[in-house]
Amino acid sequence: MKRRNFFLTMLAGGLLPVKYSSGLPGIALKSASASDSGLEEVLNRVKIAMLTMQRHAWEQGVAAQALLELGEEKLVIMMAREAVLRQWDDGRLGQVCDNHGVTDPGANGEAVLYAGRVLSDKRLLEAARKQTEYFLKTAPRTHDGVIFHLDNKQQLWIDSMYMCPPFLAVMGYYREAIFQVEGLRKYLWNEKKKLFSHIYDYQEKKFERQDFWGVGNGWAAAGMTRVLRALPEEMKEEKAKLRKYINDLLDGCLRYQRKDGLFHDVLDNPRSFVETNLAQMLAYTIYRNVQLGWLDWKYLRKAEMMREAVHKKVDSYGYVNDVCGSPLFQSPGVATEGQAFFLLMEAARRDLLG
């Protein structure tokens, strides 16, 4: 309640917009609590659209994570069971085809662990353990121990920041989670830009894609936030370091925010298309970190601006439009992760409001 009152005081004081339209017919959000019938209707549309989409391993995982953070227990259990049904013998969860993903299956891990604990289901708990063992013992990696994104190429992708370290952290492997975060920063972080490049080819010792891909930086921001949430209180030094990493990345991204609240697909390339999902990912990151006392509340103005822009992208079917679209992620469209991060953004904001 104190968090909610603080937030509403800022609204009243002009530090955040007092009233704005979501861009959807008949919906005007003021304090926008999760009990507002208009918002609930939008959330339900976005959720249903997400659940109709075909999904690869990481898409199943990010969808399940969104439902978990929304508190949709039954749906989380059902999603987790599907991921376990398609678990490979080596431990990788949710594998509907051989797309060579190494870290992507780990996006399912927290939902599977949660479902196993809620149901006291040994099969689900064993599935979570097997996914962990894959990361710790089997997954291909660099000579200095950073896990590759693919099993057929020696490449490091910033996407992995969301797929692997958060699950290791919730499983209690805190040091390994931090190690993987640090390793991806070592190879992909650009200190001058304060942004992550997308893909580094470890074998060729050069970037496969040096672009500062917006959604990739969103994966990093959200992934580090989830690791930070999972770390125990006694790891004060590590938590402080992660907070700085998140803060630096937010500042790097926000430098490229457009007047409409959105970003270009490649952050520093205005010729690339205007993209929706990064705004959701950063808003999620801001709401979560402010809620937990790790980020200055001044960032909320930016988050609210992003959220307002995103709501205007939701159509009558519940699709969040103009995200970096599946299946090729090269043009504006729709994607499971775009749906999921709308829900994650709203879950984080709801929790901030208390």
Q: What Cα–Cα distance (Å) separates residue 137 from each residue in 91, 130, 133, 147, 342?
A: 11, 10, 6, 10, 34
**Statement: residue 31 has pLDDT above 60:** no
- Phi, psi (rounded to 5 degrees) for 173: -90, 65
| pLDDT > 70 fraction of the chain, expressed in percent and rounded | 90
CA–CA separation, 259 and 212 (whole Å) = 20
Smallest CA-to-CA distance from 291 within 30, 6, 15 is with: 6
- For tokens 């991921």, what's the residue? 83
- Top pLDDT among 105 and 34 is at 105
Average pLDDT over residues 184-198: 98
Quote the mean pLDDT of the chain: 92
Residue 290 scores a pLDDT above 50: yes
The distance from CA 243 to its chain's CA centroid, rounded to whole angstroms, is: 16
What pLDDT shows up at residue 203?
A: 97
Q: Tell me the C-alpha distance between 339 and 325, whole Å.
A: 11
Structure-token pair, residue 76: 């989380």
* pLDDT tier at 251, thresholds 50, 70, 90: very high
| Residue 249, CB-side half-sphere exposure with 13 Å CA sphere | 34
Report residue 340's pLDDT band, with 50, 70 and 90 as the boundaries.
Answer: very high
Q: Is the bond preceding 327 in cis, omega lying within 30 degrees of 0?
A: yes
- pLDDT digits over 137-164, tens only? 999 999 999 999 999 999 999 999 999 9
30: Cβ contacts below 8 Å, ≥ 6 apart: 11, 18, 19
Is residue 221 a contact partner of residue 278, using CB atoms and an 8 Å limit?
no
pLDDT (0 to 100) of residue 7: 53
Average pLDDT over residues 219-225: 98
Question: For residue 234, is pLDDT > 70?
Answer: yes
Report, in angstroms and rounded to the nearest whole number, the Rg of the chain calculated over CA atoms.
19
21: confidence class by pLDDT, cuts 50, 70, 90: very low
216-223: average pLDDT: 98
What is the arithmetic mean of pLDDT over 67-91?
98
Residues 163 and 170: their CA atoms lie apart, in Å, by: 12
Helix 214-230 / helix 336-353 crossing angle, nearest 10 deg: 40
Residue 329 and residue 335 in contact, taking contact as beta carbons nearer than 8 Å? yes
Q: Looking at residue 99, what is its pLDDT?
A: 87
Cα angle 137, 141, 147 (rounded to 5 degrees) comes to 85
The structure tokens listed for 28 are 């005007």
Give me the domains of the chain, ranges plus CATH numbers: 2-353 (1.50.10.10)
Mean pLDDT of 112-130: 98
pLDDT(2) > 90: no
Res. 11 pLDDT band, cuts 50 70 90: very low
CA 109-110-115 angle, 5° bins:
100
- Comparing 34 with 240, which gets the higher pLDDT? 240
User: 98: pLDDT confidence band, cut at 50, 70 and 90?
Assistant: confident
For 100-111, how does the pLDDT look when each residue is reduced to its tens digit (9 = 90+)? 999 999 999 999
Characterize 128-146 residue by residue with b for buried, 16 or more Cβ atoms within 10 angstroms of its Cβ, and e for exposed: bebbbebbeeebebbeeeb
* Average pLDDT, integer, range 24-52: 69
Q: Is 2 exposed, middle or buried (0-12, 13-18, 19+ CB in 10 A)?
A: exposed
Is the pLDDT assigned to residue 269 strictly greater than 60?
A: yes
Rounded to an integer, what distance in angstroms lies between the CA atom of residue 92 and that of residue 47? 25
- In the predicted structure, residue 4 carries a pLDDT above the cut 70: no
At residue 37 the predicted structure's pLDDT band, cuts being 50, 70 and 90, is confident
